[in-house]
Amino acid sequence: MFSQFSYPIICSDKFQETVAFYEDYFGFLPKLEAEGYVILEREGKKDVYLAIIDYEHSALPEAYKRPVQGMLLNYPVDSVVQFYDYAYHEGLKLLSEPKDSPCGRKHFYVEDPNGILIDVAENIEVSNGLTDEEGREIYVLS
């Protein structure tokens, strides 16, 4: 059905700033560059891509030439606390502090230059001690 991988493409009115943001702070490197368009590959992570296109690019249909809105990206890391400290010292726009969630993730939010919400997360083990009749853990959201 699908012949290749898929990846998000951000339509940006801050093209250069957005490319630099993901290169400088999130470990992406240019894989393909053209005027007003770039595909970035995450360093050391095969097949993890993100693309950025200038929202006025000629390849886009006229009705869709607008900056991105309402997008959430997930960015998995080995240590949320370590990445939070890094992001704090780099002056990134942090929207929350690291916290554990009942679904087994520690995460925090940061905003990119376009207002895109980035959920920086790591998997953690969480147990509230409750199990069902088959021994599976039950999580209670409060």
Residue pLDDT, tens place only, 53-81: 999 999 999 999 999 998 999 999 999 99
70-142 shares the fold of 1-68: yes
Return the DSSP state at 110. Answer: E
What is the share, in percent, of the chain residues with pLDDT greater than 70? 85
CB 91 within 8 A of CB 84: no
CATH-assigned architecture of domain 70-142? 2-Layer Sandwich (3.30)
pLDDT at residue 85 in the model: 97
Q: What value does the mean pLDDT take over residues 9-17?
A: 96
Residue 48 burial (C-beta neighbours within 10 Å; 0-12, 13-18, 19+): middle
Contact of 51 with 96, CB cutoff 8 Å: no
Per-domain boundaries in the chain: 1-68, 70-142
pTM for the whole thing?
A: 0.79
Is the pLDDT at 123 greater than 60? The verdict is: yes
User: Position of tokens 């943001």?
Assistant: 21
pLDDT category of residue 125 using cuts at 50, 70 and 90: confident
More confident residue, 124 or 99: 99
Length of the chain: 142
User: How much is the pLDDT for 142?
Assistant: 39
Residue 120: CB atoms within 10 Å: 23
CATH no. of 1-68: 3.30.720.120
* pLDDT higher at 128 or 42: 42
Closest CA to 55 of 63, 46, 47, 44: 63
pLDDT of residue 119: 94
**CA 24 – CA 139 distance, rounded (Å):** 37
- pLDDT for residue 141 is more than 50: no
